[in-house]
Amino acid sequence: MASHGARGRSGGRPTLEEVAARAGVGRGTVSRVINGSPRVSDATRAAVEAAVAELGYVPNTAARALAANRTDAIALVVPEPETRFFAEPYFSDMLKGVGAELSETEMQLLLIFAGSDRERRRLAQYLAAHRVDGVLLVSVHADDPLPDLLSQLDIPAVISGPRSAGETLPSVDSDNYGGARQAVEHLLSRGRRRVAHITGRLDVYGAQRRIDGYRDALSDAGHGVDEALIEQGDFSEEGGSRAMAALLERRPDLDAVFAASDVTAAGARQALREAGRRIPDDVALVGYDDSAIARHLDPPLTSVRQPIEEMGRRMIDLLLTEVADRRPLASRGLDRRQVVLATELVPRSSS
Amino acid sequence: MASHGARGRSGGRPTLEEVAARAGVGRGTVSRVINGSPRVSDATRAAVEAAVAELGYVPNTAARALAANRTDAIALVVPEPETRFFAEPYFSDMLKGVGAELSETEMQLLLIFAGSDRERRRLAQYLAAHRVDGVLLVSVHADDPLPDLLSQLDIPAVISGPRSAGETLPSVDSDNYGGARQAVEHLLSRGRRRVAHITGRLDVYGAQRRIDGYRDALSDAGHGVDEALIEQGDFSEEGGSRAMAALLERRPDLDAVFAASDVTAAGARQALREAGRRIPDDVALVGYDDSAIARHLDPPLTSVRQPIEEMGRRMIDLLLTEVADRRPLASRGLDRRQVVLATELVPRSSS
DNA sequence: ATCACTGGTGGGAGCGCTCCCACAGTACCT
DNA sequence: AGGTACTGTGGGAGCGCTCCCACCAGTGAT
């Protein structure tokens, strides 16, 4: 191609100015073509595009960022150690959705881990420098200072899972309430009557909603809610087995358990085994997340699937809208800033 | 702190100019302090640092990138689909080393997947825009056009694993030759005499080196090399079991197998089982990589560990040297541009 | 005393864009 | 004919830095 010869002539990479000269137009016009402005005649556009191709012109991102005060990059912030990121399919699925949606755009995705204090300080510095146009926040705990920092810096952010019913940040979540209902209704439909619940960490809003769903599913089916059948867990395996042991002690006649996560269910399974209960014969078990662990458990675990990839997609949609809204002369975007996606029960042999 | 008030006064974020005014010095001096130049008196430095702290000044990366023609970012390019990235511990270990080493610097790490054609085209565009100062290339095949593209664009790059003995790019590799020797010598020391080898993909240089190590270990121990004990694999599980089947057919009396990867070994194990051979009683098995699969295989697999995290570290070292070398008035860095790290045999019950 | 230097400093020029104002041209009204 | 309202276009100004040259003291050699 001509690109190399032409590029060589001027020394470095071709600039807007050079493209303009070659196309016989002004700098502003080239800029308009590059940025897809409609206010350019077809003939001019064609001439500019030809010049761009001939010179192998690629816009200088730094110059653009400086002049336009934007970076065309967004960050996916994972406030966890990398280990968890690689261990849990949640993150890779999310990343897949995010990447897919983002590849439609010119935006660049940055993956940032902020598990340690040190990494968090680095991140704060990074955000203060406004090196990204927006932030995707996954797996945020109720007391995390990150969201506040972001709004202080006026950086658009979208959160996966609201921190409370009054969440101010845009968020994308799955229907924790509905998912819990599905799980419990499923167990009831299989003839189970004493359905226990091992909760997640109570400072996670989604865990609260799952409890609500559990309660309402029982009430609406005409069963009372036995508080002694609810035991607190923390999403971990140990928490699950500890909670299960407590439940068995209190209500040895329980015949089903809805655990707030698959990992919790794995812990519960362990405790049930040790107590000599068979799954599902004596006790039916349902988890949440439909992660790899659900499929590989023995017996395979019935679980509530969240559409994580889709959640990633929607988060990007929301974030891009937020980002666009802060740009000059943007029309206000959609007002549905809290998205909730449906869950799906995946029945397996544990129930 | 005073930072917010001060920042609010001028409207946006403070600039170099404002810091200079506040400290009662010139713009150049502030720049020197920010960039750690030694040619600043202690008193001035202190004054500037105070002003920076008071105003909460954070340099504008875009302006810096534009003026200095650098980005302070490097990319880790993974020419594989994301799925493999998450599935293989190789990548997460590498990422850990890279991240650790990079956190000592101001450099930003970008993770870029280039598994599909589409992603590759996007990457090419990205590199053409010189959006990174350097590139880390992992898992590159012999015929990959990426290295050439990079040298064409004059972007520093470091490769993990040379493509041939005459590799021109700086590279960091583990001692494939030595690792293979360790494996074979281990098997010989356990009294095995008919040691087979299932190779990796022959277009991967490291696989070639492992074959060399296998041959030399046998020769040096005074055993001949029986070509019929070498069978080509491709690093995959299917390849492993196919190769194993072929070997068993040809040399039913073999008593040990050195496989070019753990995954290959898993395939070989399957074929051995199906042929009714016990591991390690009838046939000893050694893999390569010491990945998670090695620990979880039944029986646990003896394997050759590569110091992957360390490799990540060293790749960053090399790359940063390369990057620094292209900057004005840099002293030429080290000339050891091909690093080879030692491997370690991890004995388990499969041998 | 004059003449190099040398460590320390100020500030102009310029990096390559975007934004926006000015203006030419055409079209359609009064 | 003059106004008004567009569409399309050129180019100045300016984004916030780095680079580098000019300059100013002090210091020691001549």
Residues B181 and B298 in one domain: yes
Residues A210 and A113 in one domain: no
Q: Is the CB of A66 under 7 A from strand C?
A: yes
Q: Which pLDDT value is given to residue A143?
A: 86
Q: Is the CB of B128 under 7 A from strand C?
A: no
Q: Which pLDDT value is given to residue B3?
A: 38
Structural domain includes residue A237: yes
**Chain A, chain B: beta-carbon pairs less than 8 Å apart:** 69
- End-of-domain residue from the set A21, A37, A59: A59
Q: Which pLDDT value is given to residue B6?
A: 39
> What's the CA angle centered on A165, arms A161 and A166, to 5 degrees?
105
Answer yes or no: are the C-beta atoms of A200 and A239 closer than 8 Å.
no
Residues of B with CB below 8 A from A97's CB? none
User: In terms of CA atoms, which chain B residue is nearest residue A96?
Assistant: B82
Give me the tens of pLDDT residue by residue for chain B, a chain 351 residues long: 333 333 334 457 999 999 999 999 999 999 999 999 999 999 999 999 999 999 999 999 999 999 999 999 999 999 888 877 887 778 888 998 999 999 889 899 999 999 889 899 999 999 999 999 999 999 888 888 999 999 999 999 999 989 998 889 999 999 999 999 999 999 999 999 999 999 999 988 999 999 999 999 999 999 999 999 999 999 888 999 999 999 999 999 999 999 999 989 999 999 999 999 999 999 999 999 998 788 878 899 999 999 999 999 999 999 999 998 877 555 555 567 899 999 999 999 999
Domain span at A201: 176-305
User: In terms of CA atoms, which chain B residue is nearest residue A74?
Assistant: B110
**Per-residue model confidence as pLDDT tens digits over A314-347:** 999 999 999 988 775 555 555 678 999 999 999 9
Q: Is the CB of A87 under 7 A from strand D?
A: no
Residues of chain A with pLDDT under 70: 1-11, 328-335
Whether residues B66 and A71 touch (CB distance < 8 A) is answered with no
Q: Is the CB of A15 under 7 A from strand C?
A: yes
Q: Which pLDDT value is given to residue B10?
A: 47
Residues B301 and B193 in one domain: yes
**Number of structural domains found in chain B:** 3
Residues B333 and B269 in one domain: no
Nucleotides on chain C that have an atom closer than 7 A to a protein CB are 7-21
Best mutation target among A7, A34, A74, A108 (most B Cβ atoms within 10 Å) is A108
Measure CB to CB from residue A86 to each of B63, B92, B108 and give the nearest one.
B92
Task: Write the CATH number for A23.
Answer: 1.10.260.40
Give me the CA B28–C1' C3 separation in Å, rounded: 29
Residues B193 and B166 in one domain: no
Residues A53 and A90 in one domain: no
Task: Write the CATH number for B235.
Answer: 3.40.50.2300
Residues A295 and A225 in one domain: yes
Q: Which pLDDT value is given to residue B4?
A: 39
In sequence order, the β-bridge partners of residue A119 are none
Residues B114 and B135 in one domain: yes
Structural domain includes residue B348: no
Tokens describing residue A254: 């329980």
Structural domain includes residue B334: yes
Answer yes or no: are the C-beta atoms of B144 and B79 closer than 8 Å.
yes
Residues B95 and B146 in one domain: yes
Give me the CA B67–C1' C17 separation in Å, rounded: 12
Whether residues A62 and B56 touch (CB distance < 8 A) is answered with no
Residues B246 and B280 in one domain: yes
Q: Is the CB of B29 under 7 A from strand C?
A: yes
Residues A192 and A293 in one domain: yes
Q: Which pLDDT value is given to residue B1?
A: 37
Residues B203 and B152 in one domain: no
Q: Which pLDDT value is given to residue A331?
A: 53
**Per-residue model confidence as pLDDT tens digits over A265-306:** 999 999 999 999 999 999 999 999 998 788 878 899 999 999
The secondary element (H helix, E strand) that includes residue B197 is: strand B195-198
Measure CB to CB from residue A129 to each of B58, B99, B118 and give the nearest one.
B58
Structural domain includes residue B346: no
Residue B258 is classified by DSSP as: E
Structural domain includes residue B349: no
Structural domain includes residue B47: yes
Q: Which pLDDT value is given to residue B261?
A: 93
Structural domain includes residue B347: no
Residue A160 is classified by DSSP as: E
Omega before A299 cis (within 30°)? yes
Nucleotides on chain D that have an atom closer than 7 A to a protein CB are 7-21
Give me the CA B38–C1' D27 separation in Å, rounded: 20
Best mutation target among A120, A130, A148 (most B Cβ atoms within 10 Å) is A130
Whether residues B99 and A82 touch (CB distance < 8 A) is answered with yes
DSSP H stretches of helix in B69-189: 82-87, 89-102, 117-128, 146-152, 176-189
Structural domain includes residue A11: yes
